[in-house]
Structure 1
Amino acid sequence: MNCSSCKRDLGGFSSRAAVISVERLGDEYTESYFYCDRCECWTVELYIDRFLGEESSRVDGPMAKDKGDKLVELIRQCPDPTDKHCKCKIHQTW
């Protein structure tokens, strides 16, 4: 993943600061958060696995450090953020 601001390589999936998967109307949405310490901003990759259609992805950002920090902290409160069927408060409000 490249930083959405400076384009520096932030590494692959193992370098994600946080990831969360949720299910909406049969589609799975996975958000992966990558932090660039050079720019002090977040880059977010959104992957959508459509139940009846093609999968897609997009990259959003740069996201302000304070906003990204808050979202990552919320994700880390979930016992299993990659479980799209998780019933925790974080997943229910995501």
Structure 2
Amino acid sequence: MGEDDLRCSGCRRPFEKGERVALISGKVMGDECTDAYFWCEACGVYTVRLYRDVFLGEETSRDSSPIPREEGDRRVGLINSCAEPWNERCTCDSHREYFGGWLD
């Protein structure tokens, strides 16, 4: 799961190592879903790299369209309210709201 080639989905500026602002993982229908959030100060949008480790297939990743600051701040706040956002088996209120009730 590399982030070396990640660019802002708004202005295409390359992100540097350490610019990730939040990360959350969850198990959804047997697949591990991890979303990594990056903030671009230059253009004022978030970019999310979405990783999917499919139970019976290959791991994939893709980048989101630009996410406006207000929505991104809401999501990052939700992620930060969990003590273990990286724990794919966590079923706290934050994880359930983030993944929309689809957690295993």
Query: What range describes the TM-score normalised by the shorter chain of this pair?
Result: over 0.9
How many residue pairs match? The answer is: 93
Q: Which amino acid aligns with 2:64?
A: D
Contact 1:2 1:11 in 2 (8 A): no
Q: CA RMSD in A?
A: 0.9
Q: Which amino acid aligns with 1:10?
A: F
Match of 1:55 in 2: 59
TM-score normalised by length of structure 1: 0.94
Give the ranges of 4+ consecutive aligned residues of structure 1 lying more than 6 Å apart after TM superposition: none
Q: Which amino acid aligns with 1:84?
A: E
Unmatched runs of 5 consecutive residues or more in structure 2 = 1-5, 99-104
Structure 1 distance, partners of 2:52, 2:81, is 23
Deviations 1:3-29 (A, max 9, x none): 1111111223x3210000010111000
- 1:74-89 aligned at under 5 Å gives the runs 74-89=78-93
Unmatched runs of 5 consecutive residues or more in structure 1 = none
Match of 2:11 in 1: 6
- 1:1-94 aligned at under 5 Å gives the runs 1-12=6-17, 14-94=18-98
- Secondary structure of the equivalent of 1:74? helix
Deviations 1:8-53 (A, max 9, x none): 11223x3210000010111000000000001000001000001100
* Aligned-pair identity (%): 42
Structure 2 distance, partners of 1:78, 1:50, is 24
